[in-house]
Amino acid sequence: MSAHNSKVLPEGKYVDLSNGMQIHYHDLQNEKGGGQGHPVLFLQGSGGGASGWSNFHLNAPAFVEAGYRALLIDLPGYGYSSKPTDAIYTLDYFVEYVNEFLDKIGVSKLVLLGNSLGGAIAIGLALKYPQKVSQLILMSPGGLEDKPAYFAMPAMAIMKEVFMSGATSRDTLAQFIKKALVFDAASVSETMIDQRWEIFQLQNDQVIKTMDVPNLTDRLGEINVPTLVFWGIDDKLMPETGVMKLAKGLKDYEMVVTSQCGHWFMIEHTELFNRSCIAFLNSKLQAGK
């Protein structure tokens, strides 16, 4: 694939998968002199203009400095990855392509870190390919409710209100992000909006129209790896019942629940998030767990 000549969103590497799928990713293992260690796969959330880099550019460098290998991928339908218009974007569809990606780049054991849709994919991968997962880190993951519960959340009303005109602009996208995804609009930088808007131009709506993530609550007890959970108590996208579903369903977890925080924990509370993740992984990996 030729370079996109992006002004604000950096371009990394590509890997060719089955059925013509091409996945774009960043492999931050050599920058800043670190990152040769245990791999961490960052799995982005969904939404207009989403990509691995825009979700996690404030986090991955801290993991690399702590000695971890940070892999940021654009999920199918997002970022610079392929966006087939005839695909049905089920959870299994995402899980199988992410698994194939890991096989192609030769990663057999890793940490899965995901927010929102990415959190649901991380749970799905841990259930289907448990041998590959050493630890899980989940931020307000999807896959814990039936669809009506999500559609009843305030973020959905904000989405309808902001995008009602039918003509999406950088301004309407910025409004949605600031009103629906964060507690404090000041935490969203202009660069972040530029990155999302740039990718928004490349997206088609097939991934949003056909996305189907089942309710995985009843299967949480099957997950056997140590898990770190983050939840912003002011999340307008994910029903707060998800906190207790994770608390009662998972067998081995630590949880960070924070005030004055919306759906984007890793962006609103970057230092707390990075510090907590690295301490968790250091303790578990050193203990051989």
- 3-state helix/strand/coil string of 1-15: CCCCCCCCCCCCEEE
Parallel/antiparallel/unpaired status of strands 13-16 and 22-28: antiparallel
For residue 73, the number of C-alpha atoms closer than 13 Å in the C-beta half-sphere is 28
DSSP state of 181: I
Contact of 246 with 195, CB cutoff 8 Å? no
**CA quadruple 86, 124, 20, 25: dihedral positive or negative?**
positive
Catalytic residue check, 269: no
Distance CA 117, CA 139 (A): 10
The full length of the chain comes to 289
Q: How far lies 1's CA from each of 12, 80, 82, 221, in Å?
A: 11, 9, 10, 41
Of 24, 26, 57, 263, the catalytic one is 263
CB 264 within 8 A of CB 231: no
CA–CA separation, 93 vs 166, rounded Å?
29
Closest CA to 187 of 120, 271, 73, 79: 271
Half-sphere exposure of 209 (CA within 13 A, CB side): 10
The CA distance from 195 to 119, in Å, is 22
Q: Which two tokens stand for residue 22?
A: 């091409």
Catalytically annotated residues: 263
